[in-house]
Structure 1
Amino acid sequence: MSTTVSGVDPAVLRARLDRARSAAADAGVDALLIPPGSDLRYLIGGSGTSFERLTCLVLPAGDRPPVLVLPKLEAPGYAAIPFDDLGLEASAWVDGEDPYALVAGMLGRPTVVALGDVMPALHVLGLRGAVPGAEQRLAGPVLRELRMRKDATEIAALREAGAAIDRVHARMSEFLRAGRTEAEVGADIAAAIVAEGHVRAEFVIVGSGPNGASPHHAVSDRVIEAGDVVVIDIGGPVAGGYNSDSTRTFAVGEPRDADVPATYAVLRDAQRAAVAAVRPGVPAQHVDGVARAIISDAGFGKYFIHRTGHGIGLDVHEDPYIVSGNDLALEPGMAFSVEPGIYLPGRWGARIEDIVVVTQDGVESLNNRPHELVVLPG
């Protein structure tokens, strides 16, 4: 097992642990129990991987120090974690011992414990059995209040990721042309994502022709044809763990469908207006409503079939979500996508996506490639 270490200043991590401890107390939670994943990386600088053996950060809401409970055989993977600087202890266990009883002994007699949202059911039930008197809640509502407000270091990492994925979109003429399959184009794009500064390609969508009308289409063996409209949605993490996610729509030669230019212009206007609507104090749902109104007024409302955006950071999708019904007031440091789309089943689709950050008085876009439909040589 290898553990990804973020390189974040230990003082920043310790402050995060302290804030999480205070947030837990404010929420009436006696302890946070955090498994490997992005929450763990946010708090201690390393993510690890969850297996059948329990690894769990025990973060009491009181004055007791946090403890990383982990299998002894996994301990070398966490050697780079700055335990002393974080005031973090380690408690290793070996096969044959009961790790759930070990955690229970650290908790005393808790009333409420909050478990990481992605903790496997195997461990959720194991901990429930070891601490039968405690109510189990999700840790997400506690930690999302911290994670969705990015600090300057996090915003800088997102800026780096945004610039890197912009460089990949700028190279699309190298990969995207008639006669190639979506899978072939996707493989070249994945390699370019790494070459331009990412650790890996987290996802590659190449939706050509009718496949572009499926928002989460990946790649297929469909051969791209002259006149196709092609949706390219790509992203991945940079070295610090923060992710890019950007979509642009291309045409391979002049679009064969006569309605493409006018329809695409509606989408472009909706995306621009939604970005312009972002500022502190505005409800998240307002940004969604701005994009949706323009698309609906043009007669395409039923073809915009997803939310306008999602938060981004150590996870590609995280809070805040830019969707109808979310009255959360936007605050400086919140980072999220603005990505309306129009999808015409069986014909073609289009999406434009930028990652933006709420500033003190407005918005900064972290993606800066042109928003026009890019027509490549056929």
Structure 2
Amino acid sequence: MTSQVHPAPMPFTSEDYAARMTRVVHDAALAGLDGVLITPGPDLVWLTGYRPTAITERLTLLVLRLDRSPIMVVPTLERADAEAADGAAAVSFADWADGADPYELAGALLDPSSRYGVSDSAWTMHLLGLQRQLPHSSYVALTSAMPMLRAVKDARELARLTAAGAAADAVYEQIVQRPFAGRRERDIAAELAALLRRFGHEQVDFTVVGSGPNGADPHHEAGDRTIEGGDIIVLDFGGLMFGYGSDTSRTIAVGPVDAEAQRVHEVVRRAQQAAVEAVRPGVSCQQIDRVARAVISEAGYGDRFIHRTGHGIGVITHEPPYIVEGEQQRLVPGMCFSIEPGIYLPGRFGIRIEDIVTVTDDGCRRLNNTSRDLRVVD
């Protein structure tokens, strides 16, 4: 049984998808591109609502150009599925049968000497196939050419992200009511996954349970370690709900709590809070990273903060913008990303606190609202 914290949001319409495609071709022109080539993955889902049942070696390609209407090249056996997508009404289709050359069909839709942005998820074999067909064309990854492609969310997207964040919060409030001592990490992870689905997630992407020394690995895979009294545990979990992502981290303790762990947790809490307070339109992504990192460095743990401060989130749980040194993209209202500083002490424990935030006109709004204190559990 599903226990949704938020009601289902209004569905996207074919007009919503058409508006996205129109915006993309105009933004592509501003980026010096003659068009955009979209392959199966998050870009295709965002632009058309089409998510192939299985991403295979067969070429599927949405061609967006300023001088023509959107057209999608699809395998004949998958055309019916593509035409059933929510945004299909804004697209025409050209299909190819097994045994035919899909690159000849796709090449006929492109200018032979133009420059195109290509989805990051494009298979190398497809890009090379297009290059063989059009040797004078050139290509650039969309993350490089158009990093803001999906970064700014509209009201309907924000409603989905808000619902996903509230559901993840409900999962946390449930999981900490259960005992941890004497249970294996993988059992806690399985319960997190079940709770995510119970509260409305259709997809679970990750359930990190890093207990004791395993918490010093930010991407630890939950294993057979049995949780003990005195353990510090990093919980990091998320997935997709209504097609949009959740991602939150909290650190808990099986009492009694070590004094240094309490001190380190407070440093991370202050770093996370400072970074959240620094978010506002016009500030660069790297400045948010610098704010969080300065708090941790001043406390003497700078070399133990070993990852970026955050990542964007939308139709997948990790996407641009990235909150990291060197990313000079300025924040604008509607951007959504994580703020998740951490400190990791090898062989001992790790601490991480993570919220998703969305940039507002004068600051930001958190999409995760559970307590950030070091919670002691049984």
TM-score (norm 2): 0.94
SS in 2 for 1:164: helix
Aligned to 1:248: 250
Quote the Cα distance in structure 2 between the aligned partners of 1:364 and 1:188: 29
Change (3 A) 1:108 1:271: closer
Aligned to 2:5: none
After TM superposition, the structure 1 stretch with the greater mean CA deviation from structure 2, 107-116 or 123-132, is: 107-116
Quote the Cα distance in structure 1 between the aligned partners of 2:286 and 2:35: 32
SS in 1 for 2:29: helix
Tell me, yes or no, if structure 1 residue 12 matches structure 2 residue 13.
no
Stretches of structure 1 lacking an aligned partner (at least 5 in a row): 1-5
Give the alignment of 1:184-263 within 5 angstroms.
Answer: 184-239=187-242, 241-255=243-257, 257-263=258-264
Shift of 1:106: 1.3
Change (3 A) 1:327 1:144: closer
Shift of 1:84: 6.4
User: Which of the numbers 25, 35, 46 marks the counterpart of 2:29?
Assistant: 25
Aligned to 2:61: 56
Give the alignment of 1:150-161 within 5 angstroms.
Answer: 150-161=153-164
Give yes or no for contact 1:71–1:93 (8 Å, CA) kept in 2.
Answer: yes
Give yes or no for contact 1:38–1:315 (8 Å, CA) kept in 2.
Answer: yes
Quote the Cα distance in structure 2 between the aligned partners of 1:266 and 1:339: 13
Quote the Cα distance in structure 2 between the aligned partners of 1:367 and 1:105: 48
Quote the Cα distance in structure 2 between the aligned partners of 1:61 and 1:203: 39
Give the alignment of 1:30-49 within 5 angstroms.
Answer: 30-48=34-52, 49=54
After TM superposition, the structure 1 stretch with the greater mean CA deviation from structure 2, 262-271 or 173-182, is: 173-182
Amino acid at match of 1:243: G
Quote the Cα distance in structure 2 between the aligned partners of 1:128 and 1:328: 31
Give yes or no for contact 1:175–1:188 (8 Å, CA) kept in 2.
Answer: no
Change (3 A) 1:90 1:182: same
Quote the Cα distance in structure 2 between the aligned partners of 1:285 and 1:83: 35
Runs of 4+ residues deviating >6 angstroms? none
RMSD (CA atoms): 1.5
Could you list the per-position Cα deviations for residues 117-137 of structure 1 after superposition, in whole angstroms to 9, with x for gaps in the alignment? 111111111111111111122
Could you list the per-position Cα deviations for residues 263-306 of structure 1 after superposition, in whole angstroms to 9, with x for gaps in the alignment? 11111111111111111111111111111111111111111111
Amino acid at match of 2:255: G
Shift of 1:107: 1.3
Aligned to 1:132: 135
Amino acid at match of 2:55: S
Quote the Cα distance in structure 1 between the aligned partners of 2:87 and 2:293: 48
Could you list the per-position Cα deviations for residues 78-107 of structure 1 after superposition, in whole angstroms to 9, with x for gaps in the alignment? 232256641x10111111111100011111
Quote the Cα distance in structure 1 between the aligned partners of 2:78 and 2:179: 43
Shift of 1:144: 3.0
Question: Taking every aligned residue pair, what percent have the same amino acid on both sides?
Answer: 47
Number of residue pairs aligned between Structure 1 and Structure 2? 368
Aligned to 1:73: 77
Shift of 1:218: 1.8
Quote the Cα distance in structure 2 between the aligned partners of 1:266 and 1:343: 12
Amino acid at match of 2:246: S
Aligned to 1:3: none
Shift of 1:50: 2.4
Give yes or no for contact 2:14–2:87 (8 Å, CA) kept in 1.
Answer: no
After TM superposition, the structure 1 stretch with the greater mean CA deviation from structure 2, 170-179 or 246-255, is: 170-179
Quote the Cα distance in structure 1 between the aligned partners of 2:115 and 2:81: 30
Amino acid at match of 2:79: A
Give yes or no for contact 2:314–2:336 (8 Å, CA) kept in 1.
Answer: yes
Change (3 A) 1:83 1:264: closer
Aligned to 1:181: 184
Quote the Cα distance in structure 1 between the aligned partners of 2:143 and 2:330: 18
Could you list the per-position Cα deviations for residues 298-339 of structure 1 after superposition, in whole angstroms to 9, with x for gaps in the alignment? 111111111111111112111111111222221111111010
Tell me, yes or no, if structure 1 residue 314 matches structure 2 residue 315.
yes
Quote the Cα distance in structure 2 between the aligned partners of 1:260 and 1:142: 43
User: Which of the numbers 73, 77, 97 marks the counterpart of 1:94?
Assistant: 97
Aligned to 2:336: 335
Stretches of structure 2 lacking an aligned partner (at least 5 in a row): 1-9
TM-score (norm 1): 0.94
Tell me, yes or no, if structure 1 residue 120 matches structure 2 residue 123.
yes
